[in-house]
Chains A and B, each alone.
Chain A
């Protein structure tokens, strides 16, 4: 046996070498080939079209058929079959646009990697700004929109000058934003259980001290059956992040997020670990947690568990970055059986002495949530842009939110908003909006929110949609503009990216630990150690990088 080992090893190595050579030869040519196009573009129909239009001509949507492939870069999302939605069907019939879904199949990262490696990108990719878009940009795979912005004016018009923030280092625009807006949006805040509140005598709930007394009273009266403070999933900050904003004026919830993790101090971004407001907030939260006023499951619960508690009415105060999704559903269910029950929202809690109008539990950016990009694989990028632009304009948005023209709305008023008809069916509209969520690729918040509110304003307060009511009364007014803080995530495989990763790890651990700390002194100790650890891995470099970007953004934003 031993004698056989050496030759055996040689044989194995030989095979390996042979395989590498074979592979190297075979795939070298493969990687270079611009392989077949993805399953898109209806070639025959496009060719059928008549004259080639000169470049300055605007292509009219619906004048000829357009087909392209669409991919959503998320594990939990698939582009629905185009004709399965009301809007999709209407668009196919009336505007001759057909969209072919490319499915991530559950593992978006792998799917995109294989598409990139085989050079078979879909025509349009819908996903997060940042890393993935940058990769594609650096590889020259994206189509710039600059030429199209004036020809198809909706995006430019409705987005305004902030559009410049979407530019890449070469000065061009490659990203088509989703849920972009010029005015505050968001649904962060504190949701209060009406019945419990009334049973405890409807006390004043404005300051952090008020909150503490209230929660203590809840615990004293209801024991373990009611959760005093439900922070949603604390791993994502959520309710605890909202509490943080109570301790400082103009303190943004976003300071705790991955893309910032710092606090502005004058012109610079400084460490969050040493920040006084943060420390004070953590001590307060730790106290609440220690005394079991915050659910002990905060860091381990699933969305289902949170939902259960809220739906059952077993929470007294529910806070988060968007507690309204669950709370509105819960409220609607609860009032069915008991009209006096349900939830309502209050003006954000603040520390005693602070100006309550400068407290911002929520944040928003004018750029919205994510973006669509058009890749070089697309045959007719201009036409696709034309579609996207139409989609984000009054016609497209009204179709998506209120259905085809004629039923719930007819024509536009002087603001460009749809005029609602007498046949307006609120239930149908609600259902439509839910069904169309998955195809809301470039939502125009600045347009649609006022339009929605116009309808709500015609209803008496009691009948108003719960969400809409509190959005206009509270959450929109208490959402801070975090647009100047975008683009601060370094590419992950760079040195800064590695530093960011380490800092993130340190932060998350320190955050959870400090909430679970046994005393104020321990909170300080934990955060001191976190600061030391973070500095060791290069936190100050990261802060410098982010400060730079922040100042650049501010300059861009100031330029009108």
Chain B
């Protein structure tokens, strides 16, 4: 048994303390949001609701779920996230693996080609017009196709793939395996952690994206919940518009906006955010390293 030295003990204690404090501070806002969402709007506006609801109610959730389009919105959000993530990860990983091949002709040119797109872009309107001309307006595929390749993810995949020992590939090739075969049978299975990570990132992006549907989708049946509920979530954000009005108009505008209480906003946020938060605990097991050790006889 190895004994921990003093400096090690000190470090471990500090780590535990720090992580505990950090966790509490990270948890509190969410806990508070949940508490507020189960509190009546009027009572919340009086302030002071912190660790437990003071005036318990389900009214906020009733309002949110009262919207008949909500179920459909959830369906769209889920479909988009699952399909979008699976396809994007697969496509990007394949691309990344190809980019690891040192003998790939044009490799550096391709890389520059990709990297430029991370900084230069045409802007909202040209992209919008392009998507429109491709017939993707009001189509489920507008969520999937433009996002298939992420240069950022490709770079990360490539970095990970490169860190796998060359010996693996070589021995597979000697056994007569094709490049595609190597990818599917060896590289992918060993890339659990990075696939899990990037799948998580991609899923979060897909789930949280409300902007794309707002400009490309007018058909209510295709709206994800993020976009549908955006107006509740935006309700208390003050903009410059207030400052240009005479006071009577300011009053009118404010009257309309205070229809949404903080409790309702929080309930909406919970509904919209909880599903995706739940994903991480489930993928955590993939962060165990792959079955790498001992596979090579050096």
Contacts and interface: CB of A to CB of B under 8 A. Distances in A.
Chains A, B in direct contact (C-beta < 8 Å): yes
B46 A322 contact: no
Contacts of A440: 256
A291 interface: no
Interface in B41-55: 42, 45-48
A274 to B, nearest CB: 22
A81 B243 CA distance: 29
A489 B240 CA distance: 14
A479 interface: yes
B45 A329 contact: yes
Given A103-B214, A321-B250, A329 B42 contact: yes
Contact of A308 (B45, B113, B230, B253): B45
Contact of B46 (A117, A312, A362, A368): A312
A4 interface: yes
B244 A489 contact: yes
A479 B246 CA distance: 10
A252 to B, nearest CB: 8
B213 A27 contact: no
Nearest to B262: A304
A106 B243 contact: no
Nearest to A305: B47
Given A105-B213, A311-B46, A254 B247 contact: yes
Nearest to A314: B47
A364 B248 contact: yes
A482 B247 CA distance: 10
Interface string A418-452: 00000000000000001001101001000000000
Given A23-B130, A27-B126, A110 B248 contact: no
A165 B126 CA distance: 37
A365 B215 contact: no
Q: Chain B: interface secondary structure?
A: helix
Interface string B167-184: 000000000000000000
Contacts of A15: 113
Interface of B: 42, 45-48, 69, 108-109, 112-113, 116, 124-126, 128-130, 132-133, 210-211, 213-215, 218-219, 223, 227, 230-231, 233-259, 262
Given A12-B112, A76-B239, 12 more contacts: A12-B116, A27-B133, A78-B231, A81-B69, A106-B230, A117-B125, A257-B246, A258-B240, A364-B246, A364-B249, A370-B249, A438-B259
Interface of A: 1, 4, 8, 11-12, 15, 23, 26-27, 30-31, 38-39, 74-78, 81, 102-107, 110-111, 113-114, 117-118, 128, 178-179, 185-188, 233, 235-237, 253-254, 257-259, 302-304, 307-309, 311-312, 321-322, 324-326, 329, 333, 361-365, 368-370, 434, 437-438, 440, 443, 479, 482, 489
17 contacts: A12-B112, A12-B116, A78-B230, A81-B69, A103-B231, A105-B227, A106-B214, A110-B211, A114-B125, A179-B248, A257-B243, A258-B240, A311-B45, A322-B255, A362-B247, A365-B248, A438-B259
